[in-house]
Amino acid sequence: MISDKFRGKFLYDGGWVYGGLIRDCDGKPMIHVAGYGSGAFETRYSVDEETIGQFTGEFDRNGREIYDDANGATSRRDFTARPCNDGKGRI
């Protein structure tokens, strides 16, 4: 089963971020992250397009999630987020 979970490297510090794939109003890719419950939050991270991968729904023998490479997925759900990126990597 193909998942709507993606990962990409944050442009600011190169760390991995995980969540939904969206694009800002300029077409730049972002990972949308949200938490729910008493500590609810929502943020978006600008990511390097070459590092985007989609979770395959499978795990390796060590229990780690397997992601396709940046060019491997053909069924990505992608939409445009508003408002535009504030120029600091987050909305």
Model confidence band, residue 91 (pLDDT cutoffs 50, 70, 90): very low
Per-residue confidence (pLDDT) for residue 69, from 0 to 100: 74
- Of 49, 53, 74, nearest in space to 5 by CA: 53
Per-residue confidence (pLDDT) for residue 36, from 0 to 100: 81
Per-residue confidence (pLDDT) for residue 24, from 0 to 100: 87
Cα–Cα dist 48/52, whole Å: 7
Per-residue confidence (pLDDT) for residue 48, from 0 to 100: 94
The 10s digit of each residue's pLDDT in 36-82 is 877 777 899 999 999 999 998 899 999 999 998 755 543 344 444 44
72: tokens are 């491997």
Domain boundaries, the chain: 6-67
Cα–Cα dist 29/9, whole Å: 11
Strands (DSSP E) found in the chain: 6-9, 16-23, 29-35, 41-46, 53-59, 65-67
Is 20's pLDDT higher than 60? yes
